Chains A and B, each alone.
Chain A
Amino acid sequence: MAENQRILVCAGTGCASSGALPIIDILNDEIKRQGLEETVTVVGTGCQGFCEKGPTLVIEPQQILYTRVTGEDVAEIVSQELVKGERVERLLLVDQATQKPVSSMADIRFFSKQHRIVLHNCGVIDPKKIEDYTARDGYKGIEKALKGMSPEEVMEEVKKSGLRGRGGAGFPTGVKWGFCRSTPSDKKYIICNADEGDPGAFMDRSVLEGDPHSVIEGMLIGAYAIGADEGYVYCRAEYPLAIKNLGIAIKQAKEAGYLGDNILGSGFNFHLKIFEGAGAFVCGEETALMASIEGKRGMPRVRPPFPAVSGLWGKPTNINNVETWSNIPHILRNGADWYSQFGTEKSKGTKIFALTGKVNNTGLVEVPMGTTLREIIFDIGDGIQGGKKFKAVQIGGPSGGCLPEDMLDLAVDYDTLTQAGAMVGSGGLVIMDETTCMVDIARYFLNFSKKESCGKCTPCREGTTRMYEILDRITKGEGKEEDLDTLENLAITIKETSLCGLGQFAPSPILATLKYFRHEYLAHIHDHKCPAHNCTALLSYSIDTEKCKMCSLCAKNCPTNCISGDKKTNTPYVIDVENCIKCGTCMDKCKFGAVSRA
């Protein structure tokens, strides 16, 4: 083919861990072997979003998506797709609704229903090359600001855009900047909060990995508006690729004159450093984060004073998260009016969600605020795995809540989710089907919160452990009816009296599940049954002698040898309930459906 083509290989953490990196080398070798190096370029990009189907690669300009590619597939892709222009069908995505393979990204609902602003470059450019970023209007935002706008005008533009903090709380970004800007001081700092810690959330990591310059540019614009000359990106050390790519980007930005003194000849100075966090979830809380940078134990402190008045090293400081900063260049480049056309009345722009759980398409998705949960789960997510029934969606990580099926038409924005008992949070979206026990889910998140509590304030330190213990007892069938009142009282007290957001929102998974799935709690307590057949202690296995063919497969595979029977003597197989550890192996192994679980 004469036309120049690019092969975009996802080299984000997700695809790298499923083997994407060697594919780049193999592709380059194969392209050379088949003499295509003049017309085909291979690019290692950041996250393309379709993590569960990784490693993924996209052929440009046709926008053909290949999924679950291995090194062995490379030769076929090159000779078939690049030379003949024909698809390698077995590597294409299968649409769950039509059960047919789809090749073009425009036809794949996972992509076609998204609207990518923050992820504009993610999975498209080589994050290690500043020229890839500038070729797609990178650093045009800061240039526009420095060359023709006053800091006040920049701040007003951000205010006007309606952008709200993407870290979870949803505070209007421009207003927050204004607080810091109006505090008189000889020194101000800005910080990028990249201490993303919610289980299952990885949007900030992906942005830093795949488009680090957008974060730098956003921070430059913010620093100019606020009057800060120094910034930190506080990134958890568990994100080595993000730290590496951001480090490269900072170096390149310095060399290109976007960072340092007298940026673009404007007299504006800005220096940016990376600070690696040591892995405490609570360091995502802004005062704990600053304490950590200062070398202190990462514990939140009471506010006021707010960071905008007394922040890092006692100086006025503005903190925004990765996704917030990454929105800023787009607002400056295209204007507030352009930005505010997306979203709902009070929540503007788009939001990235990490779609995980029992859904067909999992990965990173960016949708306009106001998109319904149903669209995200059933269109972009392509429905529930294995045709099972949807039960709930967990939004906002350990601080969020679970919403049931009748809330699926809720338009996702800050205010509607909070009203419903969940929260946008950082954007984790875990889909649960009928096999998920809601008590167990609450227990899972409480286990997380209790481990991550810093221990400073009493309600969070002691209370999360007690809530976990009560939930644990209920999942073991040892719960009492009054446990629910105790749990509710404790949850409300912890919510209302904890020092920081971690404690204040740690009870949310309990309060939301008690609100929407109280019947599941009661089934555990009264009937000693787990309706989802998930809580091991409440399960019992039995063999239907009618269906049992006495093949002995169950007995042979039982790890505790608690199944006995004999075909020769026509003794039907039975499970010794006393010694059964309820692992379910017998049920999995039985070919005749004779083992049942209750």
Chain B
Amino acid sequence: MALSTPSSSSVRAAETVRSGLTARQSDPFGRAFQVSLWVAVLATVAILGVLIFDVVTHGWGVLAGETGDFLTGRLGSQPENSGLGQAIRGTFYIGVFVVVLTFPLGIAAAIYLEEYAQHGRLNSLISVAIRNLAGVPSVVYGILGLTIFVKALGSVTGPDANGRTVVSAGLTLSILVLPIVIITAAEALRAVPNGIREGGFGVGATRWEVVRSHVLPYAAPGILTGTVIALARALGEAAPLILVGATTGFLTGGESFLPDSLRERFTALPIVISTWSGRPGEDWAASTSAAIVVLLVIVFAANLAAIVLRNRFERGRR
């Protein structure tokens, strides 16, 4: 067969390829797939929208009617005389514990793992431990808090309240979010280009000086994002607080923001929401919705700050 006259089969193959590449075709399966992806995305966004709309519309009456009383009042047996003062105070102090304890500890651990640690058995054990701690259910951290901070250390955390205080709660939640802080801070440190470190070492700086003056400033926005997300997580947790013994019903005291009241009994926003959810009637549902709006505003404000910080950080890098 001559080279200049291609066989009929290869002509047919070329024709098939050409028509497959150039001819306009409908692609029903491809369209259907893309539409189903849109449905998945829209459904997810719609769920979020319905949730927020539902909570805001139900809670609006309570929030708009008596905002001041609702935000500062005490827990009560009737929806109309129940307020969130004690709960907001508890949640505030839990946040203080997380910021004061977990942020420095978690960032320090991340600095060790990313900047100091050599390959070795102990160091790989440490990173395995951190990854596993991040997956431990929150209620198990509650058991830890119950055993150690409430029972074993009760005389320290709250001698007059059987250890069921905001100190125990704050310590428990600080430990709960520690792996989140370590993992996100380590990621931020890993993203720092090595040239930045080498620049520091090149002028004779020690490792600590390089970390302090070169690595940390570069990684700061990423670290901050992770810590704020961890804080939001801690403020929304309820299960460990149930184990640690947050007060669900009537609570005397627990209003003062003075530090010497830390070793009294306490409650927190997620606990109040959980308790009120179980109470019957439209009025309780409205109060619960209003409490949820307050919690969501706090948590979203934290998350929003994290997102804004990260966007600014990413823009600065390009």
Chain A complexes with chain B: no
